[in-house]
Amino acid sequence: EIVLTQSPGTLSLSPGERATLSCRASQSVSSSYLAWYQQKPGQAPRLLIYGASSRATGIPDRFSGSGSGTDFTLTISRLEPEDFAVYYCQQYGSSPPKFTFGPGTKVDIK
Amino acid sequence: QVQLQESGPGLVKPSQTLSLTCTVSGGSISSGGYYWSWIRQHPGKGLEWIGYIYYSGSTYYNPSLKSRVTISVDTSKNQFSLKLSSVTAADTAVYYCARDPYGDYWFDPWGQGTLVTVSS
């Protein structure tokens, strides 16, 4: 079973700064199977990135995803006030078929 | 656009069966092309995929929950449902329904979620 680890656990930054979030898998993951979500308090997660680097519909271009194999990155180029939230990575493993999520990275205001 | 809405009891007694329904609007489950999933989030914790169903009724469950989970679909009502048996306090969570494109591996959109508490 593939385990996802996210770092850091909390990222304290100011609006306008760049955020770099890491997601590491215990085994190689197909890029097609890697997604990122944003979750704000009291809300459901929202899809940001799928296929490791494709932005979902309506997602601003300040969000970008990259990576391959076991190391993936979500970058927010310039933080807006509405970007302070928890971010989760998610992968699909085919053997056995199962979706798993990372523990999340909280981006909070410094 | 497609919207999902969970419904069901917010309180379930230990050892009983948790039952939730997800109503889909703005699109038809029977059109195919998507898996329909249940995902849960323990209070203050991360996300756990429970399982999914296709409009045809084929299902796949998280192996860790498989023995207690049943997901079913009612295409006439454009709904799919979750049953989780023999619940304990560890099943207290916010339960979400979500859509997963067939052949792709992400969830979009999600329902707003419903909190289910297991307590006597």
Contact assessment for residue A88 and residue B46, using Cβ atoms and an 8 Å cutoff: yes
Is A95 a residue whose pLDDT tops 90? no
- Contact check, Cβ <8 Å, A90/B47: yes
- Contact check, Cβ <8 Å, A44/B111: yes
Give the closest of B105, B107, B108 to A32, CB-based. Answer: B105
pLDDT tens, A15-47? 999 999 999 999 999 999 999 999 999 999 999
Pairing of strands A86-94, A34-39: antiparallel
Residue A97 is predicted with a pLDDT of 78
Query: d(Cα B94, Cα A29) in Å, to the nearest integer?
Result: 28
pLDDT tens, A35-81? 999 999 999 999 999 999 999 999 999 999 999 999 999 999 999 99
| pLDDT band, residue A85 (cuts 50/70/90) | very high
- Contact check, Cβ <8 Å, A102/B108: no
Residue A34 is predicted with a pLDDT of 96
Looking up tokens 């979030």 gives: A21
Mutate to test the interface with A, among B105, B108, B110 (most CBs of A within 10 A): B105
Q: What is the mean pLDDT of each run of 10 residues along chain B (120 residues)?
A: 97 98 96 95 94 95 96 97 98 98 92 98
Residue B103 is predicted with a pLDDT of 83
Query: d(Cα A11, Cα A101) in Å, to the nearest integer?
Result: 19
Pull the structure tokens for residue B101. Answer: 């494109």
Mutate to test the interface with B, among A43, A54, A99 (most CBs of B within 10 A): A99
Is A96 a residue whose pLDDT tops 80? no
Residue A66 is predicted with a pLDDT of 97
Tally of CB atoms within 10 A around B114: 19
Contact residues, chain B, for A88 at CB < 8 Å = 46-47
